[in-house]
Structure formats: C-alpha cells, structure tokens
Structure 1
C-alpha cells in the first residue's frame, strides 16, 4: 500500500526555488510554518537537503570484509514521525538516529558498501533498499508503509526530488507557498526539475483545493493532482 504523498514547496511567481537574490533573511519560516500545519507521518528530502541535518564531521568507515546482507534494517525507535532521505550511494553520515523529533530512515541502493551499512547500524539509523542501482520510488513508498506504518509522506525536496516523484506519478497533493518575487534567472532550479524537452510525457494537471493569504503578500495554495488525466499511475 502506498502512503498519501503531499509535495510541499516554496517558489517565485516564475516557478524558481529560493535564491539569495530574493533578499529574505528569514526565508525558512515561509516554507516551514505552512509545512508544520500539514499532518504527515514523515517528511522526505534528497541527500543534498539532508546534509544540513546530518553529521558535520567525517566518520571513518571500517575497512576489510564485512558480512552485512543487503536487506532492509529497521532499528529501534520510539518516535511516531520520521525523516526520510533519498541517498542512493550512502553519502550522509550520522551522529545519532534522530533529526529533531523524527527517526531517520535512509533510502539506499544495493551499490552502497557494507562499511556504510555498518556505520548506519552503529548509530541505529534505519535503512531500506529502493533498488539495485537505481531508486524505485513506488517500492520505497510501499516499504515506508509496510515497515514503519507511514500513511502520509510530505516531500520537502528540491526540484530534482520533486520532479522524480512527479514523473513517476506518485504525488497526490501539491502544497505551494507562492512568494511575491519574480526571479527571472535563466537556468535556475525550478520547483519541479523533471527532464529536458517534452518527449511523450504529458504535463500534470492540478485541481485547486484552497488558497490562503499568509505573511502579508504570500499565498499558500493547495492542489489535488488529477491523476487520471496525467499520471502513468492512471
């Protein structure tokens, strides 16, 4: 069973993700305060975003042959919420298995070395495998539900993570904080980075659910994804 997936993002009127030229010193609140009002069992980000929360020091990995099977590992945890990171090659390192009040779940491919799995186990960080060399996002979502009981996932990723879930047709709802900013930067990251060109992919259609004015000139817009009209999940 797949959890319900809400993609939450902050962007400009031309669809760009926050840059320094926007001039907001307190930009985090525009994303985080609305996000905190979305009821979810887990939030999910990519490896680059998660670097902000994991260890700032380098943990030396064990050398030599380690007999650790490439199977999912559910560590002991007492929390009811989770922080999930898409980390195919195993780059994030940890001092603890928590981010704030959330238990960490690493999403890996089977190409990660056993020494990295040993590091995660030593910190009681849970991990699941999303594929041999590439991440199967649908499989990941099913495992989050079956192994951890996660029913609602909020994606807080950047454009590439958002785009991957969009292309796979796995997003159920889009929560968008529209900043009163026209960025105008050619080539800057957008809310959804899917692929170059159009190919055979159809754009994803959305149905408006609500609009709320927040922070004076910002809009918090929530859409339902019209899956039957656009998605490969049909």
Structure 2
C-alpha cells in the first residue's frame, strides 16, 4: 500500500489545450463546464476523492481573489510543526510555500461543494502567517525548507487527514511538476468545443526552470466519452515505466 494518495489530474481545456482564456466565456463551453463539475464534484461523481489540490495563483484566481492576509505583527509564537484544526469529508489543499494567501474562512464553497482548507507551507512561512491561519481555524502542514517537499506533503495529507484519493487541479506548472516527478497516476481532461488561439494563457502542462523541464511523459488511454454540449472526456493512465 502506498504512503501517498492516489492522484488524478482533472482539468478542463480548450481544443488548443488552454486551461483558461476567452474560450471559457462561449456558449459552446458551458456543457464542458457542467461535465467537468459532474465528474469530480457532482452528487454521483465518478472520482470518489477526499480533496483537491491547487497552487497559490490558481487559489488566488478562484477563491482568495488576491486579498492580503490579516496578519497581526509580532503575534505570539505558535507551536512548531503542523496544525490539524479538524477532520472533514472534503478538503481544499493549497500549496502556498511562503504564506501569502488572504483567507477569510476555514472553508470555501465551489458551487454546491464545501471544503475545509489545508495550507501547505514551507519553513519560509512566518510565525505571523501561521498565527493568522490558526485564528481562522485553517489547518496547515509544513513540507520542505525553501520549496515544498512532495513526499513529505503527500504522506502528511494521507496520514493526518485520511486523504486516500486526491485531485490535482492546476495550474499548469504544478500539474507538470507532479507528472514529471511521478506523483500523478491518472489524467482526466474535459475538452471544450472551443478555442481562442491565445499565446498568453496557460496550457494544460508547462515547465518551469528549477522545478521541471521538457522531458516527455507518456500515457495509456483508459477511456474516451462524448459528454455534455459536444465536449469530450479523455482519461489516461500515466506511464510510470518510462
């Protein structure tokens, strides 16, 4: 038995492989959005996961909206190590190495899904930020010194929060780093019947110097389905034997 959760990357894209952009505003993309949500978050969802994970920018774009954390300067010293505020049936895991996200509550709402927040910090995060999270009742784990430690993070998510299956949900750099390092088991893509041709928006996977490179990853097709509004759902198993 693995000491980390089973991880699937579930993303919506345009026909030209973008995960954000003007194509999302088209009528044609509405069905793809419905399929994306139904598969991972609906009442009879396909994936029976206990949480989903995203990077700091994706979190700011969708949930914290670039708010600044309400820090109290020189807050009393908090205990060392991790902080588990509570257990939940669904978690939102945010990778925030230095502690920058301005949360307002310990839960977030995504359509009709409610999730308890877990922050993944490194040792760079300040005492003031950790005290801020504790005031809100937001759980956090420390995983790494300067950059996050994948093994430590995933092991703690399973041991401390009971996460057996975890959805990886962007951004592009985070998705690719998980894939390249062998921490992603499956890729699920809902393709919208639209494109905008932009060269300024993120694609599904993108490398970043110091974190990943352009070494290829290969896949084995598991399933193809036509879904809502002429969208297509692809499922791939990640080929770890490369």
* TM value normalised by structure 1: 0.87
Question: Where in structure 2 are the equivalents of 1:155-170 lying within 5 Å?
Answer: 155-170=168-183
What is the deviation of 1:80?
1.4
Deviates more, 1:30-39 or 1:204-213: 30-39
Take 2:16 and 2:96, find their aligned partners in 1: how far apart are those partners?
29
What is the deviation of 1:190?
0.8
What is the deviation of 1:58?
4.5
Deviates more, 1:153-162 or 1:88-97: 88-97
**1:145-198 CA distances to partner (integer Å, 9 max, x unpaired)?**
0111110000111211211211211100000111223443335311011247xx
Partner of 1:108: 121
**Retained in 2: the 8 A contact 1:55–1:95?**
no
Take 1:186 and 1:56, find their aligned partners in 2: how far apart are those partners?
24
**Retained in 2: the 8 A contact 1:68–1:118?**
yes
RMSD of equivalent CA atoms? 2.3
Take 2:13 and 2:5, find their aligned partners in 1: how far apart are those partners?
25
Q: 2:20 aligns with which of 10, 18, 21?
A: 18
Take 1:43 and 1:146, find their aligned partners in 2: how far apart are those partners?
16
**1:61 maps to 2:71:** yes
Take 2:181 and 2:196, find their aligned partners in 1: how far apart are those partners?
28
What is the deviation of 1:66?
3.1
Take 1:115 and 1:41, find their aligned partners in 2: how far apart are those partners?
29
Deviates more, 1:26-35 or 1:205-214: 26-35
**1:76 maps to 2:78:** no
**Retained in 1: the 8 A contact 2:123–2:144?**
yes
**1:49-96 CA distances to partner (integer Å, 9 max, x unpaired)?**
22232377655311226322441111134x211110011121112222
Q: 1:120 to 1:55 in 2, by over 3 A?
A: farther
* TM value normalised by structure 2: 0.84
The count of corresponding residues between Structure 1 and Structure 2 is 226
**Retained in 1: the 8 A contact 2:85–2:139?**
yes
Question: Where in structure 2 are the equivalents of 1:116-127 lying within 5 Å?
Answer: 116-127=129-140
Deviates more, 1:5-14 or 1:187-196: 187-196
Q: Structure 1, unaligned stretches of length 5 or more?
A: 230-234
**Retained in 1: the 8 A contact 2:26–2:194?**
no
**1:34 maps to 2:39:** yes
Q: Structure 2, unaligned stretches of length 5 or more?
A: none
What is the deviation of 1:205?
1.0
